[in-house]
Amino acid sequence: MKSENNSGSINVEVGGRLGNQMFQYAFARALQEKYYPNYSLNLCFRLTEKGGAAGKSGGVQMVGGMI
């Protein structure tokens, strides 16, 4: 039995391109709403792109906070 005062956090590492990130967020949010309504959702976005027109490799790393 889950206590109503129980609170914690759900940590999710979101990766891939935009469509995958949107799906992963939506899935995590649905789980939060159904099973853990008192928990906060912590997202960590990691996007690394390789290649490109010039053949350069670069990356963008965004670390997000709570939602």
pLDDT of residue 34: 95
The answer to whether the predicted template modeling score (pTM) of the entire model surpasses 0.85 is no
Q: How many whole angstroms separate alpha carbon 55 and alpha carbon 13?
A: 27
> 31 or 52, which is more confident?
31
Cα distance between residue 5 and residue 27, in whole Å: 24
Q: Picking from 6-10, 14-18, 22-26, 39-43, which range would have the lowest pLDDT averaged per residue?
A: 6-10
- Which residues, other chains included, contact 30 with Cβ-Cβ below 8 Å and sequence gap of 6+? none
Which letter does DSSP use for residue 18 in this model? H
